[in-house]
Amino acid sequence: MKTDNELAGQRALVTGGGRGIGRAIALALSEAGARVAVAARTADQVDDTLQMLRAGGAEAIGLEIDVADSGSVTTAMEQLAKQWGGVDILVNNAGVLGPIGRTDQIEADQWLQTVQTNLGGCFLCTHACLPGMIDQGAGKIINLSGGGASSARPLFSAYAASKAAIV
């Protein structure tokens, strides 16, 4: 993999890195020279992204994580700390669309779970990474939002509310 080494020596964590935008971010970070930890709920997706990163010569590790679950986040961050000593760049990308339909017709638990994943996941991962960044005197946290934060999404209220809250 050709690298410009702009991020050489940096340790990056990308949540939701198993596919889509997260995978593209992980690949771009590795191309810039960063070591990349790919985190996602689905082991197969993590493995697929790891294979792509390693095929290009990147140093990468995979973490199976549910960002909505504090225990899962803690376990993953402990594993990352053991392997790399911490994180320099956190990309909070993991998210779900959630229930589709009128707010009065969807399941309340599904709505709340969407907010917990999208917004709570950003909080839990930031909460876990920020102390190390403060101790080392540097770090970057990138929170991804989406169209739900800036335009009407009448049948996607949980997604829109969680993404607006991230902003």
**Any long-range contacts for 19-23 (C-beta under 8 Å, 24+ apart)?**
19/45, 19/48, 19/49, 21/93, 21/144, 22/49, 22/91, 22/93, 22/94, 23/49, 23/52
The Cα–Cα gap between 152 and 68 comes to 25
Beta-carbon contacts of residue 77 (< 8 Å; ≥ 6 apart): 87, 125, 128, 129
Active site residue 114: no
Catalytic residue among 27, 129, 159, 161: 159
User: Cα 135 to chain center, whole Å?
Assistant: 22
The answer to whether residues 61 and 46 touch, using CB atoms and an 8 Å cutoff, is: no
Which stretches of 76-143 are assigned E, i.e. beta strand? 89-92, 140-143
Structure tokens at 16: 């939701």
Catalytic residue annotation: 159
